[in-house]
Structure 1
Amino acid sequence: MNLSNYLLMKPELSLIAVFLLLIFYDLFASDNAKKYYFPIACLLFLVHTVYCFFISKDVLTAFGGMYVTGAAQITMKSVLNIGVFLIFLQANEWLKKPESIFKRGEFFMLTILTLLGMYLMISSGSFMIFYIGLEMASLPVAALVAFDKYKNNSAEAGAKYIFNAIFSSAIMVFGISFLYGACGTLYFDDMFQSIYSSPLIIMAMVFFLSGLFFKISLVPFHLWAPDVYQGAPTNVTLYLSTISKGAAVFALMIILYKVFPALAGIWQPIIWILILLTITIGNLFALRQKNLKRLLAFSSISQAGYIMLSVFSGSSAGMSATIFYVFVYVFSNLAAFGVISAIENKTGKVNMDDYNGLYLTNPKLALVMMVSMFSLGGIPFTAGFFSKLFVFMAAMESGNPWNTVLVFLALVNTVVSLYYYLLVVKAMFINKNDSPIETLNTDSYLKISLVASVVGIFCIGVINCFYEYINTVSFGF
């Protein structure tokens, strides 16, 4: 081990540099200088985001293969960076509140720490690094969920999240320990050579996957998500439903096809059933919701099922579809939660009935929410339509008739999801309201985030250059 190993971790080192600069600024800056903390923090993270686009995408390993970097890993990290940057922009109004302004530094630092953990998950070549990254990505999130600790819902959500994180991590470690006992190694490449179909290894794989399914909130491991999403601050909910989920799905696909391809005949039917249950139950429960944060929580559970559809292909096309879907989903959810955040911060209203007649008083916010609902529902010609199309194509690539059945059932569920997405549009544009939400003035940071999200939804949908690029990337499958 030498310094050259660390120098290969350029995204992680850049992110650590941002973290250290922000923590020293928060600790030692004068009260007058701290007025500029938010724009400086956003600027530093933007520099980091841009820098990651120019990092070499050659496939390289460090620490004997424990850390892997390449085009796939750098691309996924860049997608997460863009999402986190826009989430930071949306958080300004919330962090300016008297109960939050004194701890805004903690918000940035905790978020950056969780992102660093996700970086390690994405670049892991060993279960050791993967688990360290997973814990680094999970534990600070509990503090973020309970950030508004004097609000009962936030404190309760934090407690629920930490207990579920503990149990899922314990189950996962149990499975990893069995894998180590059976194979004598924690390295993905070495374990690939040692994996065979035996009761011990199958049980180990099931335990490991069960723990990871909690993080992705696949049914029936989803029960924590609606309460946590509703109770957490809106910006944290957005982070959980997009960034955290995207990183976990990417890591899962890498592990399935680099460690467990020999057991594909066992885990593929299991995931087939879980995808169907996740999409269906997520949609059915979303139909009953009146609170918009809970509605989008069940929507995100259903979306997790769609993201997992491309797992079946085990090809570069499947991985490309996964990254593209996450990228589109980030923009779509950013637009929706941006509107919810703007209204909640000013009025405290989050129920669908409160949005009746929103177009009359806040036409721009209503239009942004409509575009977001259309993209989440997969209506042409939004980016959401193309992301679902590519995922369905990847799922059917193998030619397995059962995958065709699953895609058909997913298409039926897409029609169901359109109903509750369009209910939100109906409330804003058609339903009458004697006392609609008053005209709101949103801050410049939120406006930039919303404009970027809407532009992303249309540009990524119509101009699929990003998908064409990631389709040329070698993922090692």
Structure 2
Amino acid sequence: MDYFSNFIYMRSEVSLLGVILFLLLYDIIAGNKGMRYFQPVAIFLFAVHTALNLFPYEAGESFGGMYQYEPIMTVVKTILNIATLLIFLQAKHLFDGDAQKNKRGEYYFLTLTTLLGMYFMISSGHFMLFYIGLEMASIPLATLVAFDKKDKKSAEAGAKFILSSAFSSGIMLFGISYLYGTAGTLYFSDMASLITSNPLQIMAFVFFISGLFFKISLVPFHLWTADVYEGAPTNVTSYFSVVSKSSAVFVLMTLLFKVFGNLVTEWHNILFWIIILTITVGNLFALRQRNIKRFLAFSSISQAGYIALGVISGSSLGMSTVLYYILVYVFSNLAAFGVISAIENRTGKLSIDDYKGLYQTNPKLSFVMMLSMFSLAGIAPFAGFVSKFFIFYAAAQQDLYILVLIAAVNVIISLYYYLRVVKAMFIDKNDHPIQTLATDSWNKASLIICSAGIISAGLLNIIIDTITKYSFGM
């Protein structure tokens, strides 16, 4: 294979890199008049990129096996693309002020660079490419968290995230170095047969997996989440909650089964207790929150536990339902953040108490938020119910009845805090509710798409059938 043939399987990465470079040049060259069209151009180009990379193709590898491609990876990248596109539709208000207009190029460049890093993580067949992708995804994210440098909370959140991220990356790299020292290779395919249950490799595995758990916000590696979610701009918080988490979950699935399959007993025991802690701690702390962004931060921690429940099941059905769950989570969570973004931009209000009586003045926003809360809570017939049902079913098939029981009890607990938001909007009285808001057309489009996804994704069996078709065998 010649040098240029290596890029045949890297179509999605090459396409995304082309979008990044075009937008970078557009930002540099376009004058004030041209920059008025920057966001529509960026959204259009990214939508074209998503459409061009929608269908899987033949599996293969590039650069000596460092880059791996399987059809399921197109499904994962498409989910990330859909989520990113929805987030871009919700980003218009970020650049309303005169001080923010010149930051449009930086925002899209940084966001798409993190997405490119996630692409490399997903398609890596070598720990070095995986680590490069991880850092490419993490460092620009810290810049996005501190995007509003005049906001003390944003600057503080950026500092907390970069320090925590550097610490977790260091731990992960330490684990990778031990894996290389004991196995003599960094290729996933070669290492799989060389991993045994010797103490040094188990310790290396624990160090490595701890760094990855940080990215997913699994307990006890979750402590950064609430502060960063609260301090970051809402649009960046939504990116954290769905895109960053989704890519890390797929990488976790890949590595546990394709690299650390010989340590299945060890990681199964570790993940068992972490799932219990994550679902329970996330729920209990969500009960106490009054700030809606911190509330969704702990909600996302709990949701990560449900996702991990599908991972631990270890079956093809479990892997497929994890991806389906993530797709549903994208629509549900971004619907909530779209409403929060619209309200925060116009009023600056972020307390759940501020949402009391919202239905009186903003019935459409209240309806979308209600759909989101119902789906996240797992209430039938919305998509969140179907995704949780499949996750529980996949785990029950592997006789993980204790985990399913604990998860089911926590679903009941979560009903309280999700329905508390619905109660505030539709039932609680408020003499001075949030005034009637005019949502911009971009955000309206994203909310319509998310609402349609919440309603239809639970009814279309073709979605999970498609994911199962391209899923890798376990």
- Could you say whether these structures have the same fold, taking a TM-score greater than 0.5 normalized by the shorter chain as the test? yes
Mean alpha-carbon deviation: is it higher for 186-195 or for 96-105? 96-105
In 1, distance between residues paired with 2:238 and 2:218?
17
Aligned length: 473
* Matched residue, 1:376: 376
Gaps of 5+ in 1: none
What's the C-alpha RMSD, in Å, of the aligned pairs? 0.9
Query: Shift of the alpha carbon at 1:170?
Result: 0.1
By how many angstroms is 1:465 displaced? 1.3
* 1:438 matched to 2:438: no
474 and 222 in structure 1: CA distance in 2 versus 1, 3 angstrom threshold? closer
Taking the TM superposition and a 5 Å limit, the aligned residue runs for 1:249-398 are 249-398=249-398
Question: 1:469 matched to which residue of 2?
Answer: 466
Which residue is equivalent to 1:190? Answer: 190
For structure 2, which runs of at least 5 residues remain unmatched after alignment? none
Query: Deviation at 1:39?
Result: 0.3
- Give, in angstroms, the shift of residue 95 of structure 1: 2.1
Equivalent residue runs for 1:43-192 within 5 Å = 43-54=44-55, 56-192=56-192
Deviations 1:183-213 (A, max 9, x none): 0000011001111110100000000001111
Task: Return the match for 2:424 from 401, 422, 427.
Answer: 427
- For residue 33 of structure 1, report the CA deviation from its aligned partner: 1.0
**1:13 partnered with 2:10:** no
Q: Secondary structure at the match of 2:464?
A: helix
The equivalent residue for 1:411 is 408
Aligned-pair CA distance for 1:398: 2.0
Please state how far the C-alpha of 1:356 moved relative to its aligned partner.
Answer: 0.4
- Is the Cα contact below 8 Å between 2:358 and 2:366 reproduced in 1? yes
Quick one: distance in 1 between partners of 2:210 and 2:397?
26
Q: Aligned partners of 1:57 and 1:241: how far apart in 2?
A: 29
- Measure how far apart 1:411 and its partner are: 0.4
Q: Distance in 2 between matches of 1:389 and 1:57?
A: 30
Normalising by structure 1, we get a TM-score of 0.98
Cα drift, residue 94 of structure 1: 2.0
Q: CA deviation at 1:97?
A: 2.5
Q: What CA distance in whole angstroms lies between the structure 1 residues aligned with 2:140 and 2:374?
A: 33
Shift of the alpha carbon at 1:57?
2.5
Structure 2: how far apart are the matches of 1:357 and 1:17? 47
Map Cα deviations across residues 336-365 of structure 1 (whole Å, 9 max, x no partner): 000000000000001011000000000000
Letter in 2 for 1:426: K
Contact 1:145–1:233 (CA<8 Å) still a contact in 2?
yes
- The equivalent residue for 2:32 is 31
Aligned to 1:3: 4
Checking the alignment, whether the CA contact within 8 Å between 1:325 and 1:388 is kept in structure 2 is: yes
- Cα distance between partner residues in 2 of 1:81 and 1:305: 23
Deviation at 1:104, TM superposition (A): 1.1
In 1, Cα distance between the equivalents of 2:471 and 2:276? 29
Deviation per residue, 1:4-60 (Å, 9 max, x gap): 112210000000000011000000012111110010000000000111113x42211
Amino acid at match of 1:455: A
CA deviations 1:263-284 (Å, max 9, x no partner) are 1111101111000000000000
2:233 match: 233
Specify the code of the residue in structure 1 equivalent to 2:398.
S
- Structure 2 residue identity aligned to 1:337: F
Q: Is the 8 A contact 2:171 2:208 kept in 1?
A: yes
Give the superposition deviation at 1:409.
Answer: 0.5
Q: What secondary structure does 2:193 align onto?
A: helix
For residues 359 and 166 of structure 1, what CA distance do their matches in structure 2 show?
43
Alignment-mate amino acid for residue 100 of structure 1 = Q
Equivalent positions of 1:445-464 (< 5 A) are 445-464=442-461
Q: Using the aligned pairs only, state the percent identity.
A: 59
CA distance in 2, matches of 1:389, 1:211: 29
